Amino acid sequence: MNKVIDLTNILKPFLGKDLWVALDNSQKKVIASGKNIKEVVEKAKSISKEKPVLMRTKQEYSTYIPSS
């Protein structure tokens, strides 16, 4: 069976905030967050030896189709 990765609960505290978050490698918890991406990565690496997984917290997925 294919089980989805569920980020809804772990990202809920950051909903609508314009932050960078670092997730652990399994994407089950947020290990660092903040406005500055470099600081977020440094903080994540001080907490865990795993490679942090970055994303932002704008929560817009449905209306954006960039072209060039």
**Interacting residue ranges for other proteins, rule: CB under 8 A:** 2-8, 11-12, 15-16, 20, 22-23, 25, 27, 37-38, 41, 51-68
Q: Of 4 and 29, which has the nearer Cβ to other proteins?
A: 4
Q: How far is the CB of 3 from other proteins (least distance, A)?
A: 6
Cα dihedral sign, 14-40-10-27 = positive
Q: How far is the CB of 39 from other proteins (least distance, A)?
A: 11
Question: What gap in Å lies between CA 11 and CA 18, rounded to an integer?
Answer: 12
Q: Of 3 and 29, which has the nearer Cβ to other proteins?
A: 3
36 near 22, Cβ under 8 Å?
A: no
Question: What gap in Å lies between CA 17 and CA 32, rounded to an integer?
Answer: 14
